[in-house]
Chain A
Amino acid sequence: MRHVIIGSSAAGIAAAAEIRKHQKDAVIVMISKDEHVHSRCMLHKYISHERDVKGLDFTEENFFENQKVDYIQNEVISVLEDEKCVLLRSGEQIPYDKLLIASGAGSFIPPIGDLRTADNVFGMRNLSDAQAIDKMADSAQNVLVIGAGLAGMDAAYAMLERGKKVTVLEMSHRILPVQLDAHSAEVYQRKFESKGTIFYLGRRLEKTISGTGGQICRVVLDTGENIDCDVIIVAAGVRPTIDFLDKSKVEAGRGILVDACLQTNIRDIYAAGDVTGLSGIWPNAVKQGTVAARNMCGIAEKYTDTFNEKNMMNFFGIVTLYLGQICTRKDEVVLTEEDRNVYRRVSIREGKVTGVLLQGDISNAGVWQYLIKNEIDISHIKKNIFQISYADFFSVKADGEYRWKCEGQNFKF
């Protein structure tokens, strides 16, 4: 059996390891543009000089040798499903029996002014982005970050560590609008501001002004305000990397369309990770890569753990986690608890937890995710909701593993 994997990030690496578990003698070929395997979630740590290229590698020591995975550093420009092979930029054709597309996603640069053409504008997605930003940061003083989501705030944080003057532009009226409520967002905003960050919230970029040498030196907002900048980091979302499928019969909408077993409309071609648009977070990409790999090995399995409204941040020694819906609906009850270091917020609808936000103390928080994604009814538990733990659902299997116990409920995961 000959497996070809496009992409060397979370989904691709997880798939390669899983295939090897089931098929000792299969040929596994991984094709990626990346010179070095790297964790995209840690790019900001490269910019801040906390980690070097080796420190971004998330694979185990000698992964490719030990798992017998052939790594081809090249770009796939086309998938030829009738011939069952992929075509590389180098002109080489790589045949496959089973193909996994885990090509991920790329930064979305809005088509405003010279954003797409200026050479001091970068995404925050690949090591090459981080390397370019790092290089620019040696001479640049004024950094403009567009987008105050997680990637944007990571970039802003890294640039503060480098001693830069950071300005953040965000369309929404608060930072981290998807992840946080107004209260918890303000905690971070104040911290960033105390370190010199300037925020332009509830505003849009209207035009760019370029100086000599093809670099944007100033941007103008919809309010007429001007921001001077030496380098711009755009963190305004990502789009699945599917341009190489233009001529193929593999169906895609915004991302590649897959069935429950992560197979595309073309037999023997699977997709996993950000390229499917099913989620944009690491653990889900790993799970998709693992499930796709099992199916590629003939082990039928569905991808069911699809919950993706979750993330975590850690800035200035304050950790925050969010799960589920942060915007509250009218029929939800919201409970909060707060002291000088900790803020906890849980929303409940019809006895089920719909959203959780924990700031300052996130100890043992995995229980909340399990409660939300399995829609577990907790109305029978009569105690302070913030005291709920796995002890309330405690049960042990014969082999000593735990399982969730809750009367009359069947869990999906």
Chain B
Amino acid sequence: MRRIIIDYKKCDGCINCTIACMQAHREDEGTIYDLDLTDPANESRNKSVRAEDGTYRPLFCRHCKEPECVMTCMSGALRKDAENGLVTYDETRCAACFMCVMHCPYGTIKPANSLQKIIKCDFCAADGYEPNCVKACPKKAIHVEEVEA
């Protein structure tokens, strides 16, 4: 499967990845220049957290080999795709129970601000599975690589 590989030492916390994610998943039309960063509906699937020493830790969904989120999903909304290895999310099936939020050991899932669904990485499926965060990273701290599923 293809996975976003993280080299945290290269991350300088510019959060271009976060803005790119919000832009890629916004519901209205527009460019990054008119993206409303304060609209609660515009949420990012990734973040980079500043550590004590001033360096950064990019926190991105791993699309795990044995995803805890999938195991805990009681509606069938979350699946591990046997073909491409991604953990997919079907919001039409989601019951908003948020058990997945409680089970991701890395805290990469959150409820949407609407509390009607979750916010989780979809590997930018709508853009041909070319993640916009990766395209936006000026430091090459994240890149896509083929790994064993």
User: Interface on A for B, CB 8 Å cutoff?
Assistant: 10, 14, 39, 41-42, 45, 51, 57-60, 282-283, 286-287, 290, 310, 312, 314, 317, 319, 321, 323, 362-367, 369-370, 383, 389-392, 394, 396, 399-402, 404, 413
Contact = CB atoms under 8 A, between A and B. Distances in A.
A394 B8 contact: yes
A366 B62 contact: no
Given A58-B75, A400-B3, A401-B64, A366 B101 contact: yes
B107 interface: yes
A362 B76 contact: no
The SS class assigned to the A binding surface is: mixed
A42 B102 contact: no
Interface in B45-95: 49-52, 57, 59, 62, 64-65, 68, 71-76, 79, 95
A390 B148 contact: no
B101 A364 contact: yes
A400 B115 contact: no
Given A319-B98, A323-B102, A286 B109 contact: no
Contacts of B4: 400
Contact of A362 (B68, B95, B101, B148): B101
Interface string B13-56: 00000000000000000000000000000000000011110000
Given A396-B6, A400-B147, A312 B97 contact: yes
B96 A391 contact: no
B104 interface: yes
Contact of B102 (A59, A366, A394): A366
Given A60-B79, A369-B105, A391-B57, A283 B6 contact: no
B147 A312 contact: no
Interface residues of B, number: 42
Contacts of B115: 314, 317, 319
A208 B49 CA distance: 59
A314 B72 contact: no
Given A42-B75, A400-B6, A402-B105, 18 more contacts: A51-B95, A57-B76, A282-B72, A283-B71, A312-B99, A312-B101, A314-B98, A362-B102, A363-B107, A363-B110, A364-B101, A364-B107, A364-B110, A367-B107, A391-B50, A391-B59, A396-B5, A399-B148
B1 to A, nearest CB: 10
Given A364-B101, A390-B59, A282 B74 contact: yes
A321 B95 contact: no
Nearest to A57: B76
A390 B75 CA distance: 27
Contact of B57 (A51, A314, A394, A401): A394
Nearest to A394: B57
Given A41-B97, A286-B71, A399-B3, A369 B102 contact: yes
30 contacts: A10-B74, A14-B71, A39-B75, A39-B95, A41-B74, A42-B75, A58-B73, A60-B79, A283-B71, A286-B71, A286-B72, A310-B102, A317-B115, A319-B98, A362-B102, A362-B110, A365-B107, A366-B68, A366-B102, A366-B105, A366-B106, A369-B102, A369-B105, A389-B107, A390-B108, A391-B50, A394-B57, A401-B3, A402-B62, A402-B106
